[in-house]
Amino acid sequence: MEQRAARTPGAPTQGAAPSLRWRVVASPVGPLRLAAEGAHVRRIAFTDGEVPALPGPDPGTLEEAVLAEAARQLDEYFTAGRETFDLPIAPRGNEFRRRVWWALADVPYGTTVTYGVLADRLGLPPGSARGVGNALGANPIVIVLPCHRVVGADGGLTGFGGGVARKEALLALEGSALL
């Protein structure tokens, strides 16, 4: 099952090894590596100079089309204030992680939420903020699944795989009330 506009969880993939295709796009927060499999975005990650070990998309393929659309929407996010994404995403992860990632879709553009509040929204028991943080640290589709909008209990900019400077830049771009 695919996921659009960060609302419907994708099904876990099992069986044969994935045939991911990739492209790197420039952004104000550094290069982003986008990866797709078939008609689904599987990964958007900061590259930090990393050279992806995945093949690029073949012309005319579903991967080429979905990667082009992802690049277009990301460009709109950075340049024109796009607030939501409408991409077929299907990140890989266990059921708990995917639940946490989908909950990010309910954190509106320009706002933040704490790890604890996100855990509460998921109906998790008290003390689950650390587990939520671990799931967010494994978020394979940054920006589209906006883990940068999750902050520490004191409002501090902690726990972002792309680094605190990127988190701050993304929140500033969105005009977050936190800054």
pLDDT tens sequence across 91-118: 999 999 999 999 998 999 999 999 999 9
Can you give the pLDDT at residue 178? 63
* Domains of the chain with bracketed CATH: 95-173 (1.10.10.10)
Average pLDDT of the segment spanning 84-90:
96
Can you give the pLDDT at residue 14? 46
First-residue to last-residue Cα distance in the chain: 37
Cβ-based neighbour number of residue 160 at 10 Å = 22
Tell me the catalytic residues.
Answer: 147
Position 13 pLDDT exceeds 70: no
Do 68 and 113 form a contact (C-beta atoms < 8 A)?
no
pTM of the predicted model, to two decimals?
0.86
Average pLDDT of the segment spanning 5-16:
42
The single-letter code of the amino acid at 92 is R
Position 8 pLDDT exceeds 70: no
Of the candidates 30, 3, 25, 23, the one whose C-alpha atom is nearest the C-alpha of residue 170 is: 30
Is residue 10 very low, low, confident or very high in pLDDT (cuts 50, 70, 90)?
Answer: very low
pLDDT single digits (tens) 128-161: 999 999 999 999 999 999 999 999 998 888 878 8
Do 170 and 143 form a contact (C-beta atoms < 8 A)?
yes
Do 132 and 124 form a contact (C-beta atoms < 8 A)?
yes
Position 55 pLDDT exceeds 50: yes
Rounded Cα distance, 149 and 151, in Å: 6
